[in-house]
Amino acid sequence: MKLLLAEQAHARYAELLHGAAPDLQLVATADPRELLGQAAQCPLWLGQPDLLQPLLRAGLRPDWLQSTWAGITPLLQPGLPQDYRLTRAVGIFGQVMAEYVLTYLLAHRRNLLGRLASQVEQRWDGPLPASLHGLKVLVVGAGDIGCAVAQFLAPFGVELRAIARQPRAIAPFAEVHGLDALGEQAGWADCLLNLLPDTPATRDIYDAALFARMSGQALFINAGRGVAVVDDDLLAALRSGLLAGAVLDVCRQEPLPAGHPFWDAPRLLLTGHSSAPTEPAAMVELFLDNLQRYRQDRPLRGLVDFARGY
d(CA 6, CA 31): 8
Catalytic residue among 10, 61, 88, 225: 225
Q: Residues in the chain, how many?
A: 310
CA nearest 269: which of 70, 101, 94?
101
What stretches of the chain show up as alpha helix (H) in DSSP? 10-20, 32-38, 49-57, 94-109, 112-120, 144-153, 182-188, 208-213, 231-240, 280-295
108 is catalytic: no
The DSSP secondary structure of 54-85, one letter per residue, reads HHHHTT---SEEEESSS--GGGG-TT----SE
Catalytic residue among 110, 252, 273, 293: 273
225 is catalytic: yes
What percent of the chain is helix, strand and coil (3-state, nearest 5)?
A: 40, 15, 45
Q: Kindly list the catalytic residues.
A: 225, 273
